[in-house]
Amino acid sequence: MVIHDLLLKVVVLGALLVPFHNYKAEADDLMTKPGCRSSCGHLVIPYPFGSSDSSSDCRIDRPSFIVYCDDSVDPPVPYLTDKSINLQIRDIFVESHEMRLIFWTGQDCYNSSGYDRSLSNYPWISLPEFPFSSTKNKFTAVGCDTLAAFQDRLGRFSFGCMSLCSSDLDVINGSCSGIGCCETSIPRNTFNYNISIMSFSNHSNILDFNPCSYAFVAEIGSYNFSVGDIKQLKFKDPPLVVDWAIGNQTCEEAKKNSTSYMCKKNTNCTDAENGFGYKCVCLQGYQGNPYLENGCYDIDECADPTLNQCEVKCLNIEGSYAQRVITVMVRRVMEMDKDAL
Ligand SMILES: *[C@@H]1O[C@H](CO)[C@@H](O)[C@H](O)[C@H]1NC(C)=O
Ligand SMILES: *[C@@H]1O[C@H](CO)[C@@H](O)[C@H](O)[C@H]1NC(C)=O
Ligand SMILES: *[C@@H]1O[C@H](CO)[C@@H](O)[C@H](O)[C@H]1NC(C)=O
Ligand SMILES: *[C@@H]1O[C@H](CO)[C@@H](O)[C@H](O)[C@H]1NC(C)=O
Ligand SMILES: *[C@@H]1O[C@H](CO)[C@@H](O)[C@H](O)[C@H]1NC(C)=O
Ligand SMILES: *[C@@H]1O[C@H](CO)[C@@H](O)[C@H](O)[C@H]1NC(C)=O
Ligand SMILES: *[C@@H]1O[C@H](CO)[C@@H](O)[C@H](O)[C@H]1NC(C)=O
Ligand SMILES: *[C@@H]1O[C@H](CO)[C@@H](O)[C@H](O)[C@H]1NC(C)=O
């Protein structure tokens, strides 16, 4: 009787703590639907993004989610729209709903006869669905006779910064603080820009150390100003971070149509705070791709000591973890029964 009771308790405890075996396969496989191209060069292409040469089931039906892969070079190079626009994709992040693009820097140059058209160029960009990250990017200008502006292409607003200096000795190396280099942040809900760069006096007295002004939007941390950049900017291919989300509905609106709603099992939905649409995220304790069937898999907290506080044997359970306490409990139960006798 006592033995039976004891077994029952152990069985019940055991049942509560069945270790959970997740279906985590290779990380890349989990990011893509079966049979779909999962990478282009160094880029992993996670669903809902898909390669232009895969079937349309491999991605959602939006032009911005198509990755164009140039396989004629080695390694292949991924582009956001077709190659003619020359907007390379460096990374696509599902968890943070960001994408890192490679853009170019603008410059406004002068020589002794004035404006030098042949060296000048003013970048512009227009993205139909993805806004620039207002928290990850900065607008920066470099020069000593420089007024640089970030303009909305529809002419609704513009902002920028200015830097004037008469000698490169005044420029503070390493700090973009207004002398030789100035910077400002980017507003939310911006999908396009023209960069324009102007001078006050054609760089006329500073041509020897600063013939050009430069301006670009780039990921914070990707560029450190150095005094040598006044003469010739060494920063090429600035990374630019954009935010992405699904469609243009809020979570609440999107949930009403279960056919088109994209968030799968073990996910939660959040509204985009920059731009439009909603974002699916794996629930706490899960990771992976929330847009794929069974894409969010359990995190094995036991495998990573920073994710658990276990002192004795750790047991991974679905969505969480537990210590292996059965042996301790059994001993307690036995002691209690002995007292009862
Ligand atoms: C300055 O640049 C312009 C246009 O690029 C060119 O035509 C002119 O010859 C240049 N002047 C000098 C002095 O190099
Ligand atoms: C931005 O640049 C485009 C192309 O260069 C031009 O057509 C447009 O007028 C510019 N917009 C503004 C506000 O300057
Ligand atoms: C700058 O150069 C242009 C010609 O390229 C000239 O028309 C203009 O007057 C010059 N401005 C100054 C302030 O030197
Ligand atoms: C810029 O400087 C910071 C601090 O000095 C450094 O951590 C970072 O790696 C530098 N970034 C680049 C792109 O050089
Ligand atoms: C400015 O700083 C960079 C690195 O931070 C260094 O390589 C360079 O020599 C410095 N230049 C001067 C003039 O101090
Ligand atoms: C939302 O997106 C759909 C198609 O994706 C489009 O037809 C519709 O006009 C958009 N609505 C708004 C308010 O932007
Ligand atoms: C729900 O979404 C599906 C797929 O996009 C669409 O065909 C259908 O018309 C939508 N239903 C409603 C009620 O909007
Ligand atoms: C889902 O997210 C909302 C806020 O976006 C939060 O209030 C809610 O608690 C979350 N649900 C779960 C199950 O994490």
For 229-243, what is each residue's pLDDT tens digit?
999 999 999 999 999
d(Cα 167, Cα 285) in Å, to the nearest integer? Answer: 56
Residues of the chain by 3-state class (helix, strand, coil), percent to 5: 20, 30, 50
CB 319 within 8 A of CB 298: yes
Could you tell me the distance, in angstroms and rounded to a whole number, from the CA of residue 115 to the centre of ligand 3?
Answer: 7
Measured from the Cα of 268, ligand 8's closest atom is 1
How far is ligand 4, taken at its centre, from the CA of residue 219, in Å?
A: 12
Residue-level pLDDT at 318: 67
Beta strands in 152-295 (DSSP E): 158-164, 181-185, 192-198, 212-219, 239-243, 267-271, 278-282, 286-288
Alpha-carbon gap, residue 58 to 168, rounded angstroms? 54
Q: For 148, phi and psi rounded to 5 degrees?
A: -120, 140
Helix or strand holding residue 102 (H, E): strand 98-102
Closest residue CA from atom 1 of ligand 6: 248
Which segments of the chain does DSSP mark as H helices, in order?
2-16, 27-31, 251-255, 326-340
The pLDDT value recorded for residue 30 is 72
pLDDT at 40: 95
Give just the sign of the alpha carbon dihedral 223, 226, 230, 231.
negative
**Which atom belonging to ligand 7 lies closest to the Cα atom of 257?**
1
pLDDT given at position 303: 75
Grouping H, G, I as helix, E, B as strand and the rest as coil, residue 291 is coil
* DSSP letter assigned to residue 191: -
pLDDT of residue 84: 63
Q: Which helix (H) or strand (E) holds 6?
A: helix 2-16
**Could you tell me the distance, in angstroms and rounded to a whole number, from the CA of residue 268 to the centre of ligand 8?**
6
**Residue located nearest, by CA, to atom 6 of ligand 8:** 268
Ligand 6 atom 6: residue of nearest CA: 248
With a cut of 50, list the residues of the chain below it in pLDDT: 1-28, 325-335, 341
Q: How far apart are CA 110 and CA 107, in angstroms?
A: 10
First to last CA, the chain: 12
Distance (Å, rounded) from C-alpha 189 to C-alpha 154?
A: 14
Token pair 């006044």: residue: 230
Amino acid at 102: I
Domain ranges, ordered by start, for the chain: 2-21+310-340, 27-97+244-298, 101-243
